[in-house]
Structure 1
């Protein structure tokens, strides 16, 4: 009986810590979002009321939470523990945000193009090409 009580106490402490951490993240997110909104409004000669900025930041935070859960599920479904860029693109596609998906794909392709290939990757690619060439030659000779 005491073991069950101690276990439930530990679970409650973890939940409280998670709630505190989530609240801290939400507060920091809200401050950042309000700061960005005010900065952009100032650039465009506009003003943003604090309640509207707070509302937008709360919506953005909820969206980020939802997206994070989706990303975790996509990675888990693929048998991975870490989220990758394909998960992000898939999540946006599943939310029917085709414009954002296209932008993300373009951005990722740009990053891949800029990324230098390591010697190891080049060797693997050339080996695959060699196998494809030899198999094509074997079938042509036969």
Structure 2
């Protein structure tokens, strides 16, 4: 009698472990496209990611770097004060997008150019994403503003 109870208990525990491992694997597989890592321009130049990898890049838009081409494609350069990365974006830029302002872009680094699929700009005169602030502080470029 004891061995039957013990066997059932072991079977239930093994089944629970297998179910937990399977569900964890399925959740990870489902989320693989939804996770985008942040990189500063210095990190992108130091260790260029694969062209198939989608990630976020952030920094300041360099002064005088915005070039509006034919159609909707816009080229500009994003910097963290240490390194600069050229960016190409096809689409409509946010209204608050401008030179010397913070931005975060989502896309891929292909042939030395970050091909952005989405561009986010600051939403007021004092806000900048935490990742961008940290990258700029690391390079010694970030200046505190007197805003709240």
Q: How high is the TM-score relative to the length of structure 2?
A: 0.23
Q: Which has the higher helix share?
A: 1
Q: Which has the higher contact order (CA 8 A, sep 6+)?
A: 2
Larger fraction in strand:
2
Max Rg structure? 1
With the length of structure 1 as denominator, give the TM-score of the two structures: 0.24
